[in-house]
Chain A
């Protein structure tokens, strides 16, 4: 039994500990907002937050996230924005970012993690953080614009949050191997 917090609720999973979180979310918990795109950490479609940090759930075994706090697109709304949406979701609607929409859960999760770490990112920081998320429909230009808009709005709304203490610019996308190593080291 692997326990975690999922979108602020406690969850226990009785699955193969090696099962990537992506399949546990989609097949076991029926949370299908998190998408499969490559299964290899290369496209970002499966991005979720683990303790507020963007992570590729397709290569993150559930064993690696035991006792951690997971947020998926279904839990991204933070009641700060219109319609109970996060600043990122509000901006995504405003700029009509999605085409097919399939990559967009992952894009929004990555963007939200970026803004959490860097409230007012510059172009380079946006690109560096977002280039792991593929959009085959080609919505990149709108994603950039939406992130900038969300950054301006959320910083006005929240000023800077305390989570940032101790974090400097580099926003890391952890993959499971990194996390597993960290855990082993700990």
Chain B
């Protein structure tokens, strides 16, 4: 019935003939976007497939628990046993120390800038520079670490010097991520706490930090997983490329996985390519585990309450 009416009146959809053309443009656009997404995914898949293929059979329990060796045969399954153990432990200690420093300094700085510092030229200047620092190449931080921690503070090429250098490297990103998380806490929540007589500190402790924590943690973990793969700053600081024992103290020398992998990759014996690939698999596993933790934390806190 209504159909009949529509037909009898003038066409209500007159003047929409351009829609077909627009829809075609829309489809082309979607296609381009999908293709772009595909490039990234395909590259990643190929990379991982290649590494897995190269390392197939080389990632063994011995590989995880033995120090490296100059002889490729030692790494072979059933060989004398050689692997990544000191660098794996070194990387984990390095990241743990870095995490400690970054969380304390990064959250502290972000809380100060967001909750205490009054909005003036100085804070605006500081914030702009923090954002700029996030873009400085990591080798520059390596130089800085060498000058300050290794030389001036006489920490030598130690685990502590490495951790402090990596802290400098990721601190700007952690500060910015934490600031954003803190800024996202609604003012109404702060007012609620102030309204019942909370002090600044209580508001931060009870309202701001709990709400901002998931954001702070994801930002921190993601930058830490970036730091664990960094090589350039560690080279500058003078970390060992290859060590036979894990670091025994924060002031002792250390090797880290990226440098150990680099060491293997530059070995003349082609068999070491498999060893390097096995090292990459271990590094990527640690990295993915960290990212998974970040995702888990975000998910966990978002669904809670």
**A and B assemble together:** no
Interface residues of B (CB under 8 A from A): none
